[in-house]
Amino acid sequence: MKLKQRVVLLAILLVIFIFTKVFLIDNLDTSAANREDQRAFHRMMTGLRVELAPKLDHTLQSPWEIAAQWVVPREVYPEETPELGAIMHAMATKKIIKADVGYKGTQLKALLILDGGQKVVFKPKRYSRDYVVEGEPYAGYDRHNAEVAAFHLDRILGFRRAPLVVGRFVNLRTEIKPVATEQLLSTFLTVGNNTCFYGKCYYCRETEPACADGDTMEGSVTLWLPDVWPLQKHRHPWGRTYREGKLARWEYDESYCDAVKKTSPYDSGPRLLDIIDTSVFDYLIGNADRHHYESFQDDEGASMLILLDNAKSFGNPSLDERSILAPLYQCCIIRVSTWNRLNYLKNGVLKSALKSAMAHDPISPVLSDPHLDAVDQRLLSVLATVKQCTDQFGMDTVLVEDRMPLSHL
């Protein structure tokens, strides 16, 4: 064989060797990531049932101090949370030392301060579990049980971006009125034999109060995030106009995602992937009302998208509002870890996991069976949407590693 032919042959063999090595390393890295995702899923399933108990072992810290220390830029609580039951027990039982009207917003809520100085947001029961909210996907009052269910779904999906929520029964006459501010107290009234209040908010009306069963009111309490983590509000890029006959750009522009990718904070960092995770989360719970979202301030796009205010969900189990998934099917990208988790939850696992996670909540059963069935059914639609994307663009383009910068898209 001539020298020139040998050199060419050696060059070809070298290229094949390098390609094979890179391919094997990539496969090994992907397999390792998948194995870690699987281990994380099994850890989540093992610790899914949270029994509310007052005991905090091996620490002198209060439940509030522990929960505050959990919060970091990319998660509200860690993967391993042995103290979660004690914190939620405190949220459900600690003495209320002050009650006031809720913070700004469109829906009725009360701001409570519990023994130890911890702020929580109380949302009252408005509907029975079997009530179906008709009309637009964002119609009706807030659903207190939806906040509880959404928190546990956040745990199951492995996002860890929703504040802690637990159900609670409060006696309006003995627990709230004696410590209520004048502003809140002025909104109390009696309807029949039931104590009611209507609070202060954009849609709050004296003619539409929330009423207890006698004096006892069922509701949800959401743990207030630590004040050292101030929030910043953002308009959701896939938000609705809420104006009749006026469409948002994403509703008619097929290339809208390309424009979003060129806009800060979606042009780099994790925010766009957070938006897509959130679209999956909102679709599963039937929430079409996330027109804004919050992150931590001065984060330059590095903070998580915090899953606040999830109560406009679980209103109608027949709802199949595919437009909620617009960020997913228009951008056709999703985190590998999210994709893996969704696949682990198919074949009825999601319904079973959600039911198990909520079993020990004080207001259990949190959801009716039709709503649990609907979550499972919607999961199939999410998986089908991702498959359409991978069929069109390929797995390597659609499935994005969690820490990969988005400038390549």
- Known binder of ligand: residue 75? no
The pairing of strands 194-197 and 188-191 is: antiparallel
- Known binder of ligand: residue 38? no
- Known binder of ligand: residue 57? no
Amino acid at 43: R
- Known binder of ligand: residue 223? yes
φ and ψ of 46, to 5 deg: -65, -40
pLDDT of the residue at 22 = 36
- Known binder of ligand: residue 183? no
**Average pLDDT per run of 10 along the chain, which is 409 residues long?**
52 43 43 79 84 84 96 95 95 98 90 98 97 91 98 97 98 98 97 97 95 98 96 94 90 96 93 97 96 88 93 94 96 97 96 96 97 97 98 96 54
Handedness of CA 138, 190, 103, 175 (dihedral sign): negative
pLDDT of the residue at 409 = 46
Show which residues are catalytic.
289
Residue 173 is given by DSSP the state I
Task: Give the integer Cα–Cα distance in Å for 318 and 9.
Answer: 64
Task: Give the integer Cα–Cα distance in Å for 254 and 238.
Answer: 13
At 155, list the tokens: 């745990």
- Known binder of ligand: residue 123? yes
pLDDT of the residue at 300 = 73
**Residue bearing tokens 């649990």:** 372
Q: In terms of Cα–Cα distance, which of 307, 277, 312 is closest to 76? A: 307
- Known binder of ligand: residue 118? no
pLDDT of the residue at 30 = 57
pLDDT of the residue at 244 = 84
pLDDT of the residue at 26 = 42
At 231, list the tokens: 């929030």
Residue 94 is given by DSSP the state S
Single pTM value for the model? 0.90
- Known binder of ligand: residue 330? no
Angle in degrees, CA 276, 282, 286, rounded to 5: 145
- Known binder of ligand: residue 339? no
pLDDT of the residue at 1 = 52
- Half-sphere exposure at residue 24, Cβ-oriented, CA atoms within 13 angstroms: 6
Task: Give the integer Cα–Cα distance in Å for 306 and 23.
Answer: 37
